[in-house]
Structure 1
Amino acid sequence: MIEIDGSVGEGGGQILRSSVALATITGTPIVITNIRANRKKPGLKRQHLAAINAAAEICDARTSGLELHSTTITFEPHCIRSGEYSFSIGTAGSTSLVLQTVLIPLLLGDGPSTVRLEGGTHNEWAPPFDFLEHCYVPMLVKMGADVAVRLERFGFYPAGCGRMVANIKPVDEWRSLELLDRGQLVNRQVRAISAKLPASVADRELKRIRSKTNWPKAEFVADAD
């Protein structure tokens, strides 16, 4: 069993998620200590529990220490199982980060998978759904992945209640990725997304940004949930 010190580097949740994902892919049992040691409130939060439990479900892993505020866990994976999965964080925790924990393992599975997640879709300190849709997934597709993500409902702090779906097919052959040039500007857009707020709030945000950029008005969009 490999021991991983969760306080290394930034000492946050990324070393936890990456370690669990890599353990799932390689079938390597691990123990992670000092989880989120460099945060104001160390240990596991609900979104971290959701990510680890999700990974455990797709590979029948044996685990210990999976409880709120725990600073040490063990994770002993078995074979990855493709299939239909639903994961609920129970708070506004990031669905994007939970998906990233299981996405690559499921791309290496033996059949197609569908993952449904409920929680936060647009969070502070986490990639929003738009990043998955327009940046992360397109890069994976360029590398040979067959992935599609769909937002069904926005989820904001503190209520969460957002919902997204990912359809994943196993990779036939990975392709190398070279990003040597910036490329030409294809499109740009500023979106203000509001939930249960007057439309004037989003309009005011857009007006402020427009005053700083001088971009055409058509490139600014207000969405209400």
Structure 2
Amino acid sequence: MGKTVYKKLKGSQSFRQRLLLSTLSSTPITIEDIRPNQTYSGLAKHEISLLRLFDTVSDGCIVEIYETGTKLKYKPGTIMGGRVNHPFQCDVSRSIGYYLEPLIVLCLFAKEPLNIRLKGTTNDSKDPSVDTFKSAAFHILKRFGVDFEAMSLKIESRGLPPNGGGEVVLSLPIVQSLTAVNWIDEGFVKKIRGVTFSTKVSSQFETSMIRAARGVVNPLVSDVHIFTDHRTGPPAGNSPGYGISLVAETTSGCYISVDTAAAHVRDEDTSGLADDVKKDLMPPEEIGEGIANTLLGEIAQSGVIDSSYQGCYFFFVLYVLKMFPRFASENFPNMGLKLLET
């Protein structure tokens, strides 16, 4: 066997995208200078957790992290998918949504359909929530010919920062063929759906969020339904908090989503509670009104995909183009595939 040639990269930016494209293209990579001058240098805990997840769903993956954590060698293996028998614990500093974005794209091209149980934080204010994956992301995948009925994401327990405690079960099919997409018509909003949740706090927080959100969107859209998901006991995870997810469906089949959560957070540098942990959480009325206005802002941008998922599906489209060069040359003659080679 010949010597493995690693593509050299620098810095911590676009870490997930680099791993994803490396794996899909079977290109070994070396990443150097990972936060070398910061107080807490090297790979973050959630990035190490993501590497473990890629290793879990692959066969023959080789990961080498240097002692300082500022250099990484990654040789991708074969994407296997299949049923993962043991729950995977995601680092709680990032939401499960941080891991779902690359995992869903990756395992569509696995050897077997994926079934995996993920534990950690289900909702936070940084990453797309598990709720919007169910109500928006899966519909976008359907556009590309993925079997919608075979996709599922069951929320067995909620988990909020700083201690998580959430648990979801993801089932994902593999693709045998892909559908060419000409997606430029955003349509008009015909209905809005949403869900509020609360863990280890009063259910009245959800009522307040719904009332405030409806105060913004009801004068504009007649078909609005926002459901509640109040959790207590073990299904409520390990930390108190509350939040809301909203999705606007358009006449052309687009799903525009927004979400947020109010919970105490950890400082990413120290892993301790952040300085503002003693402050009261944002009032539910402000959260409901704020997220409704954010949804209107996303709709006003007239996109067929909201800003939360544009990056994820941009890489999905790139891979489709590489796998189907004839489709790429016919539909994107000036684009080329150089982005996958950089």
TM score, norm. by length of structure 2: 0.57
The correspondence of residues 53-202 of structure 1 with structure 2, limited to 5 A, is: 53-59=52-58, 60-65=60-65, 70-85=69-84, 86-91=87-92, 93-146=94-147, 147-202=151-206
Matched to 1:193, the amino acid is F
Structure 2, unpaired ranges of 5+? 1-5, 232-342
The correspondence of residues 40-55 of structure 1 with structure 2, limited to 5 A, is: 43-55=42-54
Match of 2:228 in 1: 222
CA contact 2:158–2:166 (8 Å) conserved in 1? yes
Change (3 A) 1:16 1:66: farther
TM score, norm. by length of structure 1: 0.83
2: CA distance, partners of 1:90 / 1:66: 20
Change (3 A) 1:210 1:80: closer
Change (3 A) 1:23 1:209: same
| Percent identity of paired positions between Structure 1 and Structure 2 | 22
2: CA distance, partners of 1:197 / 1:43: 37
Change (3 A) 1:167 1:192: closer
SS of 2:206 mapped into structure 1: helix
Aligned residues: 218
CA contact 1:111–1:170 (8 Å) conserved in 2? yes
RMSD: 2.7
How far apart are 1:89 and its partner, in Å? 1.5
Matched to 1:94, the amino acid is S
Q: Does 1:30 align with 2:34?
A: no
SS of 1:160 mapped into structure 2: coil
CA contact 1:93–1:160 (8 Å) conserved in 2? no
Greater mean deviation of Cα atoms: 37-46 or 127-136 = 37-46
How far apart are 1:29 and its partner, in Å? 0.5
Structure 1, unpaired ranges of 5+? none
How far apart are 1:38 and its partner, in Å? 11
